[in-house]
Structure 1
Amino acid sequence: MAGRETITLRATGDRLQRLGFTGNALSIDSATLDGVPVAASVQEDVLSFDLPKPLARGRIVRLALTYHGRPARGLSGSATSLYTTYFACDWMICPQDRFGDKAAFSLALRVPTGMDTLSVGRLIARAPTRDGGEVHRWKAPRPYSPYLFGFAVGRFARAGDRIGSAKLSYLSDVADTAELKRRFAETSQMVQFLSDRAGAPLPVSEYSQLLVEGREAQEAATYSVLGVDALATKADDPTEDWAVVHELAHQWWGNLVTCATLQDFWLNEGITTFMTAAWKEHRYGRAAYDAELAVARGRLDKARAAGFDKPLAWDGRYPNLATRRAVQYSKGALFMDHLRAILGEDAFWAGLRRYTRKHAGGLVTSMDLEKAMEASSGRDLHPLFSEWVSGADNASEPPPPAAPAPAS
């Protein structure tokens, strides 16, 4: 692939001398800062640009890049389609794990005439090119964390629905319109349930679900990529619709309300894992809720049996991805269930609504959830959050080898 990219940035420290991004397999062909050439280098998985002179705090500049290469991660597809996955910073220049660096995003895709595209936000323009192709221009509705950037290109069957003013779109190159309608028949009911529990409507005016081969289950800023093998094969099967509701829930918890750093990633994933169980309780009954949490408990028990259990906001390195998920996803969901049992229905859901509405569009830490739950319940929850979330007594333990940040 080849691309041109412009990044507008502001220096948050004084005398900034170097810009750092996630290293990848792309080759930088040219790089300029406000028109002045800058040199690029990669060391220890960090792509750096040394600046011709230091930047003062508050200075706004434009880094213009051209690049080409074959991304090592972040792109998947079939004979008829191409789509991005979690590792956005393998196909563009960005900071993958700096969730607090939300950015406005627009993307122009040059594709053959007749191809369909999907990206963040909405399609704002479609124009022919001199070589017989087309350029599709997409624009995000608000700033998002870079890992949520993405796109897809293919010849897609389409179906859709509406809920209130929001448009729901279903796309695939492996299923026809009838199958799309069947597989995503309950998306509108899920939106209604999650909107009620969040105290806020679906945060985007159009939400799309792209059905592909395999077991893909990944949220992007305004859409999700879902593999056929990750979806239910039987109607009304409470064990098999987790991927649809989990990735949809990220539109509120993760995309709209975002953990400031990877340390509090459980706020993204633990809450959405819990909300998957809550949906199943709403749709199928208490037994389905208990069964979903039993899965989470089993994963955490497996990590504990291997000698690894950490507080939810532990700032160390995990030995592998499964263990990271056992803590941030599974233990996070179990903590939300524990809060619900202690606070009661009214106070718990009021606290989640308060947390979601207050921090919509912003960044959060675990303290923000603690304050919201305390305000709704009138109780001092600091000892409980200290036990489950901060765990200061574990801070001195040496870290194991690093594990990568998890995709959803």
Structure 2
Amino acid sequence: MKPAFSSPIPGSGFEVTNYKLKLKPDLTNGTISGSETILLHITESYPDSIAFSGNALVIDRANLDGLPVTPVSDADRIVFPMPRKLAKNSPVTIELTYHGRPERGFSRSVTTLYTSYFACDWMVCLQDKFSNKAAFSLELQVPAGMQTASIGKLVSKRPGPGGSEIQSWEAPRPYSSYLYGFAVGHFASVSENVGTVKLTYLSDAVDKAVLKQHFATTPEMVRFLSDKAGLPLPVTEYTQILVSGNEAQEAATYSVIGADELPKNHNDPADDWVIVHELTHEWWGNLITCETLNDFWLNEGITTFMTAAWKEYRYGHAAYDAELAVSQRRWDKIKSQGFDEPLTWSGPYPSLSIRRAIQYNKGAIFMAYLRDTLGDAAFWKGLRDYTRAHAGGTVTSIDLERAMEAASGKNLHNIFVQWVFGNGGNTARQSIYQKTK
């Protein structure tokens, strides 16, 4: 049913500050039920409604500041009518209960259920408003003895109704909604420390010995990436969950790795990418997040390049060149099909694979080009300065340009127009530059 009142773009006119959830996932049938409290504040005076990303959940009850409201949904949004006029900066609390079967982002085996990317299919949130980082806490009601993982730390366990257990998780800092997630199941578990960081490896697919072998290089990856970022791993606990299949997905403080994506042969540089790629997102993507999907290459292009940089460190320069050659071939393929756009292009992509060829692969080639152009000393200093300056926040491509210009002492205007903003994007670049001064 379409709403009778105005239907704003999800996330327009307000900013979420906190999501608090109490959920009961059902591993048997892949459904979920629970309650959610959303704290937000109004950024535009007197809206008649506010909208979140659409999903297939059934909302059983909803209150806005204690007043009952009836949200109305369509394919793209869940719209909450405002029961009273609210001025700009007014705080708002939405409380709701819901149940249903998420259409996306829920994967399960016989003993395990885990989420992947589409957080706003199993909760009410903002999927693509990357600039809105919010606090997150989650209580999971599961059968007693079952393990859970989520973002942040496990802060408590307590008995629940009917022989269940309630396990509570809390994120260490605000994150964009697409990084929320959880896993439930019976896992083999291995932990080790790298300095003050606790690394945990979980799996329902292999035993402890094999699990430890698969993730044996993670501590060295942490040290390598910390050096290149100029910051230690941004979380005190990081978990890698090994599952069957081809998953490759980062969350705020953990990642889900599919066994099919691991190297078939030990120390094979051609297949060694998934663990370091998802770990790299703890810095570029999770700690520092692009403001909008237009700048998504800052998440994925940098991370794809850093995968090549890790291979150079571990296997030698030939492995670096080989990894970049993969990105070059993927970019060349879509160029041969007549499609090539600047990294911040805002138009529609014909397919997800073409979007990835631009934002992941062309983005990685651009980072390598910057490295060759500026030299190692200036390039790595620029990346460290960019990372430190924007830790915990959101960024646009201008922020990277400024950091690289300051580190190198060079005017990179023409290079960024050519690669990032496009020959017709100079006006847009200048507009963004003025806004962020």
TM category (shorter chain) comes to over 0.9
C-alpha RMSD over aligned residues: 1.1
2:223 is the alignment partner of 1:192: yes
Offset of residue 346 of structure 1: 0.1
Kindly provide the amino acid, as one letter, of the partner of residue 363 in structure 1. T
Provide the rounded CA distance (Å) in 2 between the counterparts of 1:46 and 1:187: 39
Match of 2:197 among 158, 166, 175: 166
Q: Which residue of 1 aligns with 2:20?
A: none
Provide the rounded CA distance (Å) in 1 between the counterparts of 2:234 and 2:160: 34
Kindly provide the amino acid, as one letter, of the partner of residue 163 in structure 1. V
Provide the rounded CA distance (Å) in 2 between the counterparts of 1:42 and 1:303: 37
Instruction: Name whichever of 41-50 and 304-313 sits farther off.
Output: 41-50
Match of 2:179 among 137, 140, 148: 148
Kindly provide the amino acid, as one letter, of the partner of residue 167 in structure 2. H
Q: Which residue of 2 aligns with 1:7?
A: 38
Q: Which residue of 2 aligns with 1:120?
A: 151
Provide the rounded CA distance (Å) in 2 between the counterparts of 1:373 and 1:394: 19
Provide the rounded CA distance (Å) in 2 between the counterparts of 1:354 and 1:320: 34
Provide the rounded CA distance (Å) in 1 between the counterparts of 2:379 and 2:53: 38
2:322 is the alignment partner of 1:291: yes
**Contact 2:417 2:425 (C-alpha < 8 Å) held by counterparts:** no
**Contact 2:141 2:164 (C-alpha < 8 Å) held by counterparts:** yes
Q: Which residue of 1 aligns with 2:394?
A: 363
Q: Which residue of 1 aligns with 2:18?
A: none
- The normalised TM-score by structure 1 is 0.96
**Contact 1:171 1:210 (C-alpha < 8 Å) held by counterparts:** yes
**Contact 1:221 1:251 (C-alpha < 8 Å) held by counterparts:** yes
Q: Which residue of 2 aligns with 1:372?
A: 403
Q: Which residue of 2 aligns with 1:214?
A: 245
Match of 1:328 among 350, 359, 375: 359
2:77 is the alignment partner of 1:56: no
Provide the rounded CA distance (Å) in 2 between the counterparts of 1:256 and 1:383: 29
- The normalised TM-score by structure 2 is 0.89
Instruction: Name whichever of 11-20 and 145-154 sits farther off.
Output: 11-20
Offset of residue 282 of structure 1: 0.3
Offset of residue 395 of structure 1: 9.7
Give CA deviations for 1:239-261 in whole Å, capped at 9, x if unaligned: 12201000000000000000011
SS of alignment partner, residue 138 of structure 1: strand
Kindly provide the amino acid, as one letter, of the partner of residue 33 in structure 1. L
Offset of residue 198 of structure 1: 0.1
Instruction: Name whichever of 38-47 and 310-319 sits farther off.
Output: 38-47
**Contact 1:310 1:394 (C-alpha < 8 Å) held by counterparts:** no
Offset of residue 235 of structure 1: 1.2
Q: Which residue of 2 aligns with 1:382?
A: 413
Offset of residue 386 of structure 1: 0.5
Kindly provide the amino acid, as one letter, of the partner of residue 48 in structure 2. Q
2:161 is the alignment partner of 1:135: no
Q: Which residue of 1 aligns with 2:384?
A: 353
Q: Any gaps of 5 or more consecutive residues in structure 2? A: 1-31, 428-437
Aligned residue pair count:
396
Match of 2:236 among 205, 208, 213: 205
Match of 1:18 among 49, 59, 66: 49
Offset of residue 102 of structure 1: 0.6
SS of alignment partner, residue 181 of structure 1: helix
Match of 2:138 among 107, 111, 131: 107
Kindly provide the amino acid, as one letter, of the partner of residue 273 in structure 1. T
Q: Which residue of 1 aligns with 2:267?
A: 236
Give CA deviations for 1:139-159 in whole Å, capped at 9, x if unaligned: 000000000000000000011
Give CA deviations for 1:289-335 in whole Å, capped at 9, x if unaligned: 11111110111111111111100011111111000000000000000
Kindly provide the amino acid, as one letter, of the partner of residue 301 in structure 1. D
Runs of at least 4 residues of structure 1 off by over 3 A?
none
Offset of residue 77 of structure 1: 1.1
Provide the rounded CA distance (Å) in 1 between the counterparts of 2:271 and 2:35: 41
**Contact 2:106 2:116 (C-alpha < 8 Å) held by counterparts:** yes
**Contact 1:41 1:47 (C-alpha < 8 Å) held by counterparts:** yes
2:298 is the alignment partner of 1:271: no
Give CA deviations for 1:315-367 in whole Å, capped at 9, x if unaligned: 11111100000000000000000000000000000000000000000010000
SS of alignment partner, residue 67 of structure 1: strand
Provide the rounded CA distance (Å) in 1 between the counterparts of 2:366 and 2:376: 15
Kindly provide the amino acid, as one letter, of the partner of residue 64 in structure 1. E
Offset of residue 54 of structure 1: 2.8
Instruction: Name whichever of 91-100 and 12-21 sits farther off.
Output: 12-21
Instruction: Name whichever of 11-20 and 312-321 sits farther off.
Output: 11-20
2:315 is the alignment partner of 1:281: no
**Contact 1:88 1:147 (C-alpha < 8 Å) held by counterparts:** yes
Between the aligned residues of both structures, percent identity stands at 60
